[in-house]
Structure 1
Amino acid sequence: MKLYHKKNELSLFIEEAKAENKLVGFVPTMGALHDGHLSLVNKALIQNDVVVISIFVNPTQFDKQEDLKKYPRTLEADVSLLKSLKAENIAVYAPNAEDVYGDKIMSMSFNFDGLEDEMEGAFRKGHFDGVGTIVKRLFEIIKPDNAYFGEKDFQQLQIIKKLVEKHKMPVNIVACKIHRTKDGLAMSSRNTRLTKQQRKVAPFIFRILKSAKIKFGTKSAKYVTEWVEAQFRKQPLLDLEYFTIAEASSLKPVKRKSNKKSYRAFIAVYAGDIRLIDNIALN
């Protein structure tokens, strides 16, 4: 396994792989790696000759500077975890912000055809400009054939697909299923910040999503939404920010169900100051 801090050094490694007609897979992360990340890496290892994992806490996608400061940075542990895979064809790119952005650390402005205005975009202004900026920049540096993203951030996944489409970038986006702990909590780097009491109650989120899926089979989106909101009012340790049932492709909230469309339920919840998101396919 190779570790690079400079894009120029990484580029040489990628150029050599491309010269040998090797497929390059890419898994972008912000570090604090866990089994969910490893599931993406393992899928990439199966489908590619070389896999690049970026470990970079991107400053432009945080709407709250406090959240940026608190985000866990565990590079040594992350590298050790990746080494445990015993794969020689892995390269880690762990740059500083200047190596990625140069002397101007700022977001570009994007139009994702309205995908950026729903859910996360409504509550985190400018967030998806930051996401689009870093993903576009990393694609330009790494030039992957395939890039792997988890469905836990389903809205982000749809936006990255739109980014590739609009900018005609030659990369295939591979969606990967949500990786969960045994009690159902979606794996996230933020989970490490939960107190014991918060961690114990956090699986409530997925239990509610599963119940909402069942109810959506016979009830309206409005009924299900009101039911979910009522359940969270009974749970003092979790504060519901939003619950939305939306069309999977457009991310627009559903007004009237159609058998011809696919729907997902999206949720954002605070446990103290720790924000947890999840989603589930409804049909």
Structure 2
Amino acid sequence: MKVISELKETNSFVRKLRADGKKVGFVPTMGALHQGHISLIEASKNENDYTICSIYVNPTQFNNKEDFETYPNLFAQDKAKLEEAGCDVIFTPSHESMYPNGVDNLLSFDFGSLTSVLEGKYRPGHFSGVGIVVSKLLNIVMPDVAYFGQKDLQQFMVIRKLVSDLSIMTEVKSCPTLREPDGLAMSSRNLRLNEEERNIAPLLYRVLKEAKTALIEGNDVGNVQKKAFDSIAANALFTPEYIEVVDFNSFSLIKNGKINNSVAICLSAHLGKARLIDNVIVEV
């Protein structure tokens, strides 16, 4: 397994692969890898000749400086996991190479109504930072296919729009959220939970499943949403931020009535030092 940190070296390596007729899959990450990330690597390996994984903690998508500075650096462990999974290349650029002129006065992306709700509402500027770094990574790596997890559903929708609007020649795929045996969505942020917090964290998925069942049974969206929010807020350790039902295609909020097309139930809640997000898809 190769480890490359230079942008031009990575680009040249991929260009040679493409010239040799090889299909390249790409999994962008910020490290602190878990089995959810590895499932993306496995999906890429099943569909491509070469798989590249980037490990880069992108400063432009953090609203909280402390959150950025305390993001876990577990490169030795990450490398071992990727090697065991059969990843071919790790791309580990530096901040200096990704942002040679610093991160002030960068261009910004406006994804319109897609980012006016949920994460976009509570993390202003976050998706512009995501758009910048994903654009850079896709331009450097030039993959045939890039893989993302469903847990960050809104992020995937943003990236799909980015790739479409800018005519980037990469197919983007969303892969199912992997969960712990108790239902908690796998996330690097779970490392921030203490034992007590970890034990109650699966409440989020239970609430989502109950809400999904209620919507399928024809209950009013507003009532389902309120009950779900109140169920989380009833636990003193949780501070729920939002729970919303969105149209799966447009990502517009649905506030009342029965659902008549596919939707996603998305939530965010603070638990101790961790801010957790999750979602489920309801197909009708």
TM-score, structure 1 as length reference: 0.96
2:185 aligned counterpart, secondary structure: coil
Which stretch shifts more, 254-263 or 178-187? Answer: 254-263
Residue 277 of structure 1 corresponds to which residue in structure 2? 277
Aligned to 1:211: 210
1:22-63 Cα shifts (integer Å, max 9, x gaps): 011110000000100000000001101111100000000000
Residues 137-187 of structure 1, C-alpha deviations (whole Å, 9 max, x = no match): 000100111000000000000010000111011110111000111100000
1:150 aligns with 2:149: yes
The secondary structure found in structure 1 opposite 2:178 is: coil
Q: Contact 1:26 / 1:51 at 8 angstroms: preserved in 2?
A: yes
SS of the counterpart of 2:209? helix
The alpha-carbon deviation at position 260 of structure 1 amounts to 4.7
Aligned residues: 281
- Quote the residue 2:41 is aligned against: 41
CA distance in 1 between counterparts of 2:241 and 2:25 reads 35
Name the counterpart of 1:32.
32
Please give the secondary structure, in 2, of the residue aligned with 1:200. Answer: helix
Show the counterpart of 1:180: 179
Match of 1:79, SS state, is helix
RMSD (Å), alpha carbons: 1.3
Q: Give SS of 2:253's match.
A: coil
Question: Which residue does the alignment assign to 1:10?
Answer: 10
Residues 210-230 of structure 1 deviation map (CA, whole Å, 9 limit, x = unaligned): 001111122111101110122
**Does the CA contact (< 8 Å) of 1:108 and 1:130 recur in 2?**
no
Aligned-pair CA distance for 1:113 = 3.3
Aligned partner of 2:120 in structure 1 is: 121
Percent identity between matched residues is 37
1:86-97 equivalent positions in 2, closer than 5 A: 87=86, 90-97=88-95
Look up the equivalent residue of 2:164 and give its one-letter code: E
- Tell me by how many angstroms 1:251 deviates: 1.3
Contact 2:219-2:258 within 8 A present in 1 as well: no
> d(CA) in 1 for partners of 2:181 and 2:44?
24
* Counterpart pick for 2:96 among 95, 98, 106: 98
Alpha-carbon separation, structure 2, partners of 1:143 and 1:39: 21
Q: Distance in 1 between matches of 2:68 and 2:244?
A: 26
Aligned position for 2:200: 201
Q: Distance in 2 between matches of 1:259 and 1:63?
A: 33
**Given that residues 185 and 205 in structure 1 are in contact (C-alpha distance below 8 angstroms), is that contact kept between their aligned partners in structure 2?**
yes
TM-aligned CA deviation for residue 259 of structure 1: 5.8
CA separation in 2, counterparts of 1:147 and 1:96? 21
Whether the 8 Å contact between 1:98 and 1:105 is mirrored in structure 2 is no
Distance 1:275 1:256 in 2: 27
Q: State the AA in 2 paired with 1:42.
A: E
Return the offset for 1:258. Answer: 6.3
1:65-104 counterparts in 2 under 5 A? 65-85=65-85, 87=86, 90-104=88-102
Q: Compared with structure 1, are the counterparts of its residues 201 and 208 closer, same or farther at alpha carbon in structure 2 (3 Å cutoff)?
A: same
Cα offset for 1:257? Answer: 4.7
* TM-score, normalising length: structure 2: 0.96
User: SS at the partner of 2:112?
Assistant: coil
Off by >6 Å, runs of 4+ in structure 1: none
List runs of 5+ in structure 1 lacking aligned partners. Answer: none
